[in-house]
Amino acid sequence: DFTEMMRALGYPRLISMENFHTPNFMLVSEVLLWLVKRYEPQADIPPDVETEQDRVFFIKAVAQFMATKAHIKLNTKKLYQADGYAVKELLKITSVLYGAMNTKGVEHADLSEEDSSKFKFDLGSKIADLKAARQLASEITSKGATLYDLLGKEVELREARTESIARPLEINEAEKMMKVAIDCVLEEVQKTKDMLNNVALDEANLEAKIEKRKLELERSQKRLQTLQSVRPAFMDEYEKIEEQLQKQYSIYLEKFRNLTYMEQLLDDHRRTEQEMFEETANMLRLMQSRLKEEEQHLLKSGNNDDSDVEIQEDERSDSEVEDRQIMKQRTAPETLLQG
């Protein structure tokens, strides 16, 4: 549909959907610029799309133009992708132009720019006329309300008007009223003259203040230049202290790394000692359990003869000696670990 509409609108280049399988920003920008010019030939849209910033500005300008002029909301992200999703956004503009061409009975598809200039539609003037019409409508409403209130008071005002007209006019009262009005006008004229004189004085005072401020500004600029050119007295000391601080910081980092490394080694050493201690404790438990089993076995075999008892006692004594030696050998690392 998009390619057929573009061909019907008179786009000079052949377009197929294969052009949008991959992002093609140059083609999308060219189509957008052509559609905007077709909608309004006098539109001011920058055609530069070389850099990323220029492309973003171009997409924003086109979207803002179509939103304000044609009330068409475009998705700028999809347009910037310049792929198949951008065709859907372009289809919004082309469908509007294609529908307008069909309603006006345009039969030829390739119209030149001179022919398209005949179909200009200045929305700016229409918006100004719309604002003026709204303002006039609000004024008409307020004036109508005041007129309605005044017409409601017409009965009372009619009687007062007839009485004032029927009353005879006195010349003395008229002269007094005229004198009062003249005096008021003269007072207002005098006040205006006084204000004009005061304006002249105020203008002179303001000019003097402006000159004074200019002189102060010049002095301040000169002082700023002198301060910028002069090097502070403490700057050398500041740089030396900064170098010392940098050295101290490097020393601190080195010591901190060494401390963390030593703490890690200490933790590893404690972990190995704990494992060794647990291993010796397990071996001692095994030895105790084996000794208990041997004692029970000896108690069960206690009904044998004396020779057997003596032999068993000798064997037991030998085994006890061996067990004591083993216990001494096992308890030695335990005492070392406790120390």
Measure the CA–CA gap between 61 and 74, rounded to whole angstroms: 11
Stronger pLDDT, 59 or 308, i.e. the higher one: 59
Measure the CA–CA gap between 330 and 285, rounded to whole angstroms: 11
Is the Cβ–Cβ distance between 63 and 76 less than 8 Å? yes
What confidence category does residue 52 fall into, taking pLDDT thresholds of 50, 70 and 90? confident
> What CATH code would you report for 1-102?
1.10.418
Q: What is the mean pLDDT of the chain?
A: 79
Joined together, the tokens standing for residue 245 give: 């601080």
CA dihedral angle for residue 48, residue 49, residue 50, residue 52, rounded to 10 degrees: 130
Measure the CA–CA gap between 121 and 38, rounded to whole angstroms: 11
Is the Cβ–Cβ distance between 46 and 57 less than 8 Å? yes
Report the percent of the chain where pLDDT is more than 70.
82
CA distances from residue 229 to 98, 220, 223, 232, 237 in whole angstroms, order as listed? 69, 14, 10, 10, 19
Is the Cβ–Cβ distance between 106 and 18 less than 8 Å? no
HSE toward the beta carbon, residue 164, CA cutoff 13 A: 6
Report the percent of the chain where pLDDT is more than 90.
23
Joined together, the tokens standing for residue 64 give: 């803002």
Res. 57: pLDDT tops 70: yes
